[in-house]
A and B are shown apart, each in its own frame.
Chain A
Amino acid sequence: MEGSVTIPPVPKPVAAPPGSGGSKGAVEGSATWRLADRIGLAICWGLGLLFCALAVAIVLYLLVQGVKYLRPEMLTTPAAAGFTQAESGGFSDALIGTLIVAVMGISLALPLGVATAVWLVEYGRPVALARITESTIEAIAGIPSIVLALFGTVIFSSTALSFLSRSSEGVVFGRSFFAASAMLSLVALPLIVASTREGLNAIPRHVREASYAVGKTKAATTRRILLPTAKPQIATGAMLGLGRIIGDTAIIVVLLGATQNFAPVEDAVFPFNYLRGAGTTLTNFVYEASPTGNLNQPEKAYAAAFVLLLMVLALNAAVDIVHRRARKVGTWSS
């Protein structure tokens, strides 16, 4: 794959400079390495090890705290009002909320992102519109999520969209799972577009030409050949996007409401009464339960953060597996 070695293998060095990782092969002996160079290499090693140490420390610390404070019943009981941490229930609503938001957000972002990428790579005319679209995607990637959240409050408080959230006496509440998921899908969108484009661009021209030659339309080629081939990259993009969705807090705090329980609306049938109501997610729970939040239950914050971290780790592992499997299948190199 992409340049695991930038310098082609060269003969083993006679005497590699200390700690230079001789496997890639240094051409010169250690004599040409001045003191400044060696100090630089030491900084490299130090920072590299520091990164590893920080990652390990984050995981281990949350693991210890999570094991210490996480109780199975926390995952099954909703938050309740109480004076002590023992009385105030768990965070089942937050856990389910995270799952709802993840599913809804990604099911909005995935089709939209893949369609945008297909248009950019396969059609892309007029060129000016393609340029504009590319910069639009870049701009969306750069918009702070708190700004997206504020924009969401404007959209979803409009009376035309009152069916997506709670409304009373003509005032639309504007906070619901629909609102939060719609805005979160914009957070995931640029990642999906980027990695789908990468996947489509990696497919060489002759594959498309072979398909056109047997009379397939562009649309059919895309659906039957290009998208299945680019599946690993699409999956990667989707999972990266998913990670951003479950990790986002600002949009949840603003668009899902400052409650720790589901707040279903009364005048709707089953799934929609919950989806139109306010709710919470794990990130929101951690934010509120931290000492700077309103609940101040650091033990439960640790437990919820641990659950959240497990989800993130699982997503990371899934990305890794997809990558490795895609590499094993091989690319289109002739």
Chain B
Amino acid sequence: MQEELTPEYGPKWPDQRVERMLGALVCMLVGLLLALIVTVFVRGWPSFAHNGLAWFGSGGNVDDQLNAIFLSGQSGAEYIYTFHAWPLIWSTLLITGGAVLISLFSALFVAVFIVEFAPEWMSNVLQPVVRFLASVPSVIYGLLGVLVLVPFIGNDLISEDQKASVAGIISLTGYSLIAGVVVLALMIAPLMVSIFSDGLRSVKPGWLEGSLALGVNRWRTTWKIGVRAARPAIVAGTVLATARAIGEAVMLAMLSGSVGFAPNPADGLIFIFEPSRPLAPTIVKNIDQLSSPPGGATLFSIATVLLFSAAIFSLCGYVARRSMRKYGTA
């Protein structure tokens, strides 16, 4: 209709033109993402090519390897690429896994509490609190961790005997696995709570009422019907939070101890006090080496691993949320 008018009477912004412009913008965004993936992968490829699957394996001291890589980049002699990232990967797995487990447990209870059991005033307090905790910058969590939690762990939780028992291998100062896990759990729990409680709220009331009518008490109803019906939301929230946890760099650079050491569960319970360094903080700590070819390739290969694992997790979350829409609970 509009397009049949003569130009001087037609709208200044005909729909076709607007649609095409917006479409082009969106395509640009998609293109940007593709460019990002390709660039990061291509830049990191030399490191993968030199190491093969041994990149993911263990062997040697990872900090020494990084040093050798960076030195070879500066000296201009033959570039060294040898890099076995297992201690960093293991540290990422431990810290992310621990944090996700803790926050999954607590976020589920808090979400159930907010949606079903908290008195009005309590949920009115808790919701802004959760939003606030989600919006505190990671560097503030890191600062509080460094100045409050780490000294506490180092001075009060680790005994001198324990320090002496591993003194030959690693020094325990408080910068540790447990510090990273606790603070990371605090950082990702609010994200989980908000997605979980959205899911719990959108459970069909009829299902809950049916269960209540059968004489099941509210606690059981919530867990057996509500939480189960909201399972897609719980999967989505957990997965998204995991993606966030994998990519967390700055806070862990401050708290994890920044040693390329793989905490060994065989040491007994003390291993949670051992320092380590996950993948993402490794990039932050060594960012000065970006300009040297081997150093850059190594950092970009780490980024590739982070990018793919985080992207896979967040796409899984997206799929889980879509399936939720299919059930009509979103």
Instruction: Return chain A residues, CB-CB under 8 Å to B135.
Output: 240, 243, 247, 312, 315-316
Whether, in the assembled complex, A278 has its beta carbon less than 8 Å from a beta carbon of chain B, the answer is: no
Indicate if the CB atoms of A47 and B311 lie closer than 8 Å: no
Q: Please choose the segment from A49-57, A260-268, A269-277 that sits at the chain B interface, where 4 or more of its residues have CB less than 8 A away.
A: A49-57
Q: Please choose the segment from B10-18, B70-78, B260-268 that sits at the chain A interface, where 4 or more of its residues have CB less than 8 A away.
A: B10-18
Complex CA distance for A184 and B132, rounded to whole angstroms: 21
Indicate if the CB atoms of A287 and B139 lie closer than 8 Å: yes
Complex CA distance for A27 and B284, rounded to whole angstroms: 55
Instruction: Return chain B residues, CB-CB under 8 Å to A320.
Output: 128
Instruction: Return chain B residues, CB-CB under 8 Å to A249.
Output: 137-139, 249-250
- The contact string, 1 if C-beta is below 8 Å from chain A, for chain B 304-319, is 0011001101110110
Indicate if the CB atoms of B303 and A150 lie closer than 8 Å: yes
Cβ contact of A24, chosen from B36, B110, B116, cutoff 8 A: B116
Whether, in the assembled complex, B218 has its beta carbon less than 8 Å from a beta carbon of chain A, the answer is: yes
- Expressed in whole angstroms, the minimum distance between the Cβ of A136 and any Cβ of chain B is 5
Whether, in the assembled complex, B300 has its beta carbon less than 8 Å from a beta carbon of chain A, the answer is: yes
Instruction: Return chain B residues, CB-CB under 8 Å to A316.
Output: 128, 131-132, 135
Q: Please choose the segment from A72-80, A84-92, A127-135, A162-170 that sits at the chain B interface, where 4 or more of its residues have CB less than 8 A away.
A: A127-135
- The contact string, 1 if C-beta is below 8 Å from chain A, for chain B 234-277, is 00000010011011111001100010000000000000000000
Complex CA distance for A210 and B244, rounded to whole angstroms: 43
Output the nearest chain A residue to B258 by Cβ-Cβ distance. A292
Instruction: Return chain B residues, CB-CB under 8 Å to A135.
Output: 315, 318
Indicate if the CB atoms of A290 and B147 lie closer than 8 Å: yes
Give residues of chain B (209-250) contacting chain A, Cβ–Cβ below 8 Å: 209, 212, 215, 217-220, 223, 226, 240, 243-244, 246-250
Output the nearest chain A residue to B107 by Cβ-Cβ distance. A47
- Expressed in whole angstroms, the minimum distance between the Cβ of B179 and any Cβ of chain A is 12
Whether, in the assembled complex, A138 has its beta carbon less than 8 Å from a beta carbon of chain B, the answer is: yes
Indicate if the CB atoms of A138 and B318 lie closer than 8 Å: yes
Indicate if the CB atoms of A142 and B313 lie closer than 8 Å: yes
Whether, in the assembled complex, A253 has its beta carbon less than 8 Å from a beta carbon of chain B, the answer is: yes
Complex CA distance for A116 and B22, rounded to whole angstroms: 7
- Expressed in whole angstroms, the minimum distance between the Cβ of A135 and any Cβ of chain B is 6
Give residues of chain A (1-30) contacting chain B, Cβ–Cβ below 8 Å: 2-3, 6-8, 20-24, 26-28
Indicate if the CB atoms of A309 and B13 lie closer than 8 Å: no
Whether, in the assembled complex, B125 has its beta carbon less than 8 Å from a beta carbon of chain A, the answer is: yes
Instruction: Return chain B residues, CB-CB under 8 Å to A52.
Output: 125-126, 129
Indicate if the CB atoms of A144 and B139 lie closer than 8 Å: no
Whether, in the assembled complex, A82 has its beta carbon less than 8 Å from a beta carbon of chain B, the answer is: no
Main secondary structure of the interface of B (DSSP, over half): helix
Complex CA distance for A23 and B223, rounded to whole angstroms: 20
Output the nearest chain A residue to B299 by Cβ-Cβ distance. A150
- Expressed in whole angstroms, the minimum distance between the Cβ of B273 and any Cβ of chain A is 17
Q: Please choose the segment from A35-43, A227-235, A326-334 that sits at the chain B interface, where 4 or more of its residues have CB less than 8 A away.
A: A35-43
Instruction: Return chain A residues, CB-CB under 8 Å to B212.
Output: 7, 27
Main secondary structure of the interface of A (DSSP, over half): helix
Query: If the complex has contacts A6-B205, A20-B218, are A139 and B137 also in contact, measured as CB distance less than 8 A?
Result: no
Indicate if the CB atoms of A45 and B113 lie closer than 8 Å: yes
Taking residues whose C-beta sits less than 8 angstroms from the other chain, chain B's interface range is 35 or more
Complex CA distance for A5 and B120, rounded to whole angstroms: 10
Indicate if the CB atoms of B280 and A286 lie closer than 8 Å: no
Whether, in the assembled complex, B109 has its beta carbon less than 8 Å from a beta carbon of chain A, the answer is: yes
Complex CA distance for A151 and B296, rounded to whole angstroms: 12
Indicate if the CB atoms of A247 and B138 lie closer than 8 Å: yes
Whether, in the assembled complex, B119 has its beta carbon less than 8 Å from a beta carbon of chain A, the answer is: yes
Instruction: Return chain A residues, CB-CB under 8 Å to B116.
Output: 6, 24
Whether, in the assembled complex, A238 has its beta carbon less than 8 Å from a beta carbon of chain B, the answer is: no
Instruction: Return chain A residues, CB-CB under 8 Å to B220.
Output: 37
Indicate if the CB atoms of B112 and A58 lie closer than 8 Å: no
- Expressed in whole angstroms, the minimum distance between the Cβ of A66 and any Cβ of chain B is 11
Indicate if the CB atoms of B146 and A292 lie closer than 8 Å: yes
Cβ contact of A54, chosen from B32, B119, B133, B290, cutoff 8 A: B133
Indicate if the CB atoms of B142 and A287 lie closer than 8 Å: yes
Instruction: Return chain A residues, CB-CB under 8 Å to B317.
Output: 138, 142
Whether, in the assembled complex, B117 has its beta carbon less than 8 Å from a beta carbon of chain A, the answer is: yes
Instruction: Return chain B residues, CB-CB under 8 Å to A119.
Output: 19, 22-23, 25-26
Indicate if the CB atoms of A153 and B254 lie closer than 8 Å: no
Output the nearest chain B residue to A286 by Cβ-Cβ distance. B139
Indicate if the CB atoms of B29 and A250 lie closer than 8 Å: no
- Expressed in whole angstroms, the minimum distance between the Cβ of B294 and any Cβ of chain A is 15
Indicate if the CB atoms of A112 and B29 lie closer than 8 Å: yes
Instruction: Return chain A residues, CB-CB under 8 Å to B93.
Output: none
Query: If the complex has contacts A6-B208, A21-B118, are A146 and B284 also in contact, measured as CB distance less than 8 A?
Result: yes
Instruction: Return chain A residues, CB-CB under 8 Å to B29.
Output: 112, 116, 133, 136-137, 140
Indicate if the CB atoms of B314 and A144 lie closer than 8 Å: no
Whether, in the assembled complex, A280 has its beta carbon less than 8 Å from a beta carbon of chain B, the answer is: no
Cβ contact of B249, chosen from A144, A301, A312, cutoff 8 A: A144
Whether, in the assembled complex, A207 has its beta carbon less than 8 Å from a beta carbon of chain B, the answer is: no
Whether, in the assembled complex, B188 has its beta carbon less than 8 Å from a beta carbon of chain A, the answer is: no
Output the nearest chain A residue to B118 by Cβ-Cβ distance. A21
- In the complex, 18 of the A-B residue pairs with CB atoms within 8 angstroms, ordered by the A residue number, are A2-B201, A3-B202, A3-B205, A7-B218, A33-B217, A33-B219, A43-B109, A48-B114, A58-B136, A145-B249, A146-B249, A150-B303, A219-B11, A243-B135, A287-B142, A308-B137, A316-B131, A316-B135
